[in-house]
Amino acid sequence: MTKRTHEEMGYGYDPDEEEDYISLDHTSTPAGNRIDLDLSEPEEDQILADVQTHWDREADSEDEGEFTGNESMPATQRYHDAVVVMVKKDFVINSVADRNTLSEVFELIKNDEHMRSEKRQSALKAILKGALGKMLHSESSRYHYYGRETEAAKRAEYEKLFRAVSQHCYSIGQGNLIDEMLQDLLLDDKWIQSKPLCDLIAQKVAQDVIGGSDSASYKWLTLPLPPVVTYPYVNGRRLFLESIKDALPDAAVPLFKPKMQQELERLLNAVNRFSDTEIQPLARIIENIPLSSYLELVLPKLDKLLGPTLVLQFLHSLLATQMSGKDHQTEIERTTLKFFMPRVISESNLSFDNLAIEPVTQEPQLFYRFQSNFSRPQMYEVPRATKLAPPVTHLLDSVGRCMNQGLEDEAVKLLSAALPSPTTLLARTLWKHCFMLIEELLQLLQIHRNPRLNQVASPFVSEVIQILARHLASTHPAQLPNWTPLSVSRTPCSCEPCGRVNQYLRDPKQIVGRFAYTQTIRKHLAKTFIHSGDLTFDTETKGSPHTLILQSKSKEYTHSVAVWEEEVQDMRSRLTAMGNDFVTSLLGADIVSISALDLAVQDAKANPATAQRFPLDVSLSSSNIQQPSARAGTKRKHDQVEVIDLT
């Protein structure tokens, strides 16, 4: 018992109004074990001692320690004789300050034959809760203050205490305390994979199973289900049950397995939500349940939860996940494909409009919240190549997996239903995207070499490459009528502005020329070169002086032809790369000759009247940007462009 002085040092402090109070730091059991307490200002009816009789003197001098009461100090430094303070036991139990003394508190309770039943139950519950808290906290803590070995030793001490208290509870008919406490802990997901907790539960299950108490063994393991049940939740519960099974003695395992299977079936039936991020937990469940349970409980549930566009993605992700046991994984793959193929066949229909994914332009991610205006990041091109869209790759992957599993009918039906009709091939479709599909399809056919698949794909490949070749050839630029290219050697005037215009005319790569001059010089340039139908004239009114913009039709035409020829050569190279003995036997002839690309190109060059008018829809460099055309001698309103009137 220690006496302290409580001083109010705030505003209006009066030293004559100091208050003294008593605190009890610890107590001792009859066996001499110390129990740490934290009792400040106890009520008079809670202790049995005349406290005021020991408050009648202060320290004799400054050399004498202050406020020293009944402590283990030399007799010369004591203010008075030893004081024995009797404290109510339930008050001590409710005021335990340090869980390190739980063993001593349990000893105090266990040896008390006269303690009331409700007080004993409350005390045992407090000890069990404290021991469990130390066990689980020391296991889950990221920071081990005393070191891992010391923490493990402390946890072992609390496990020993918990087992001792549990045995005492069962011996006095209070075993329900253990069941209630463990069941409360199981409601918290973070504890269901705790090894000490699983070991404790396994001990109880083993006792009940071996003793023949079937109902008591599993009633408290069947927990209420949350509103949202997902496969990660089910997998966590599965791991918990597996941990209990592993901790059971060999004699109890055969009796526990049927109950474990029954609980898993209850959980699988309750699943009501699924997303593509739950593939891994689902795979772990599938590899640990019988194939019959997977077919009856998992697949029908997934069929209801998967949206129309998610089935192919689900098949691709699940079947690409590695599972334990090659034979079991093969059975799972075959069962899954056979179950979902009717739905996949009815929902699969590719389109030429979304075959591939182009590189995207995006802003880089910042790892700080605020950014300076002086260091704002620029938009950049993500360094990745154009690739087939996921629905396309997933479909081809499913066809290949069906063939690997001997599901030939399903593979043929899926490919027949999915391939788009070549007659719907639009002119705006990029031929390179279609070629990516053709290349992947030919590779799939070459791997499996199945006559039925070849019969479905061969007409599609031939017709598509013919349509694409004809379309590309038809984009050959045609010269506009009623104009004559200007001779680049002509120099109508020897002035400096005309010299710059002639220099622009001689440069074959510069399509647009920009000349900033006063209005008089701009009119002089326009009148000098107006006789040629090769140039268009615009004036940009932004800035001073204004800018005369010249655009050469012949240069634009030459550039468009060069772009077209480059595209033709690229297509020819891609077709040549596709060709091999298998493709030739599949199509009946060389793929380049089947495409008739060369014939289509020759026809386009020989009949320019039927060719596409330039410019092509291509991206030009910043120096070759196509400017709006204008007809000399007319007025046209524009935000930044004014057409020169030469009348």
Task: Say yes or no to pLDDT of 520 above 70.
Answer: yes
Q: What does the block give as tokens for 168?
A: 């005492």
CB 400 within 8 A of CB 447: yes
Backbone φ, ψ for residue 617 (5° rounding): -80, 75
How far is residue 328's CA from residue 315's CA, in Å, rounded to a whole number? Answer: 17
* Band of residue 573 on the pLDDT scale cut at 50, 70, 90: very high
Of 69-73, 385-389, 490-494, 530-534, minimum mean pLDDT range: 69-73
pLDDT digits (tens, 9 = 90+) for 122-150: 888 888 888 877 776 654 444 445 566 67
Burial label for 548, CB within 10 Å (0-12, 13-18, 19+), is buried
Single out the residue of 382, 468, 464, 361 nearest to residue 419, CA to CA. Answer: 464
* Band of residue 365 on the pLDDT scale cut at 50, 70, 90: very low
Output the pLDDT for position 539. Answer: 83
Backbone φ, ψ for residue 615 (5° rounding): -85, 160
Alpha-carbon torsion (358, 359, 363, 366), positive or negative: positive
In this prediction, residues 439-458 reach a mean pLDDT of 95
How far is residue 445's CA from residue 461's CA, in Å, rounded to a whole number? Answer: 11
* Band of residue 482 on the pLDDT scale cut at 50, 70, 90: low
CB 457 within 8 A of CB 441: yes
Which H or E run contains 548?
Answer: strand 547-552
Alpha-carbon torsion (113, 115, 117, 119), positive or negative: negative
Of 193-197, 336-340, 488-492, minimum mean pLDDT range: 488-492
Task: Say yes or no to pLDDT of 628 above 50.
Answer: no
In this prediction, residues 308-321 reach a mean pLDDT of 87
Task: Say yes or no to pLDDT of 414 above 90.
Answer: yes
Cα-to-chain-centroid distance, residue 350: 27
pTM of this structure: 0.64
Assign 512 to helix, strand or coil: strand
Domain extent listing, the chain:
2-94, 348-362+381-462, 475-647
In this prediction, residues 36-63 reach a mean pLDDT of 53
Of 126-140, 447-461, 627-641, minimum mean pLDDT range: 627-641
Output the pLDDT for position 37. Answer: 63
If you ran DSSP here, which 8-state letter would residue 297 be given? I
Q: What does the block give as tokens for 130?
A: 């404290």
In this prediction, residues 418-423 reach a mean pLDDT of 87
Output the pLDDT for position 448. Answer: 95
Q: What's the farthest any 2 CA atoms get from each other in the chain?
A: 128
Output the pLDDT for position 93. Answer: 66
How far is residue 395's CA from residue 312's CA, in Å, rounded to a whole number? Answer: 7
Task: Say yes or no to pLDDT of 451 above 70.
Answer: yes
Task: Say yes or no to pLDDT of 215 above 60.
Answer: no
Q: What does the block give as tokens for 513?
A: 């020329």
Greater confidence (481 vs 598) lies with: 598
Burial label for 145, CB within 10 Å (0-12, 13-18, 19+), is exposed
Greater confidence (276 vs 488) lies with: 276
Q: Output the average pLDDT for the chain.
A: 74
* Band of residue 242 on the pLDDT scale cut at 50, 70, 90: confident
Output the pLDDT for position 646. Answer: 39
Burial label for 203, CB within 10 Å (0-12, 13-18, 19+), is middle
End-to-end C-alpha distance for the chain, whole angstroms: 116
How far is residue 400's CA from residue 453's CA, in Å, rounded to a whole number? Answer: 11
If you ran DSSP here, which 8-state letter would residue 172 be given? T
Output the pLDDT for position 578. Answer: 93
* Band of residue 22 on the pLDDT scale cut at 50, 70, 90: low
Strands (E), 456-524: 477-478, 512-516
Q: How many helices (H) and strands (E) are present in the chain, helices listed first?
A: 24, 15
Cα–Cα–Cα angle for 294, 299, 305, rounded to 5 degrees:
140
Q: Name, of 207-216, 305-314, 584-593, the range with top average pLDDT.
A: 584-593
Q: Is the peptide bond before 451 cis (omega within 30 degrees of 0)?
A: no
Output the pLDDT for position 77. Answer: 41
* Band of residue 43 on the pLDDT scale cut at 50, 70, 90: low
Output the pLDDT for position 526. Answer: 80
* Band of residue 152 on the pLDDT scale cut at 50, 70, 90: confident
CB 318 within 8 A of CB 399: no
Output the pLDDT for position 142. Answer: 45
Of 300-309, 341-350, 539-548, minimum mean pLDDT range: 539-548
* Band of residue 540 on the pLDDT scale cut at 50, 70, 90: confident
CB 319 within 8 A of CB 401: yes
Give one word for 290, left, alpha or beta, with left for phi > 0 and alpha for psi -120 to 50. Answer: beta
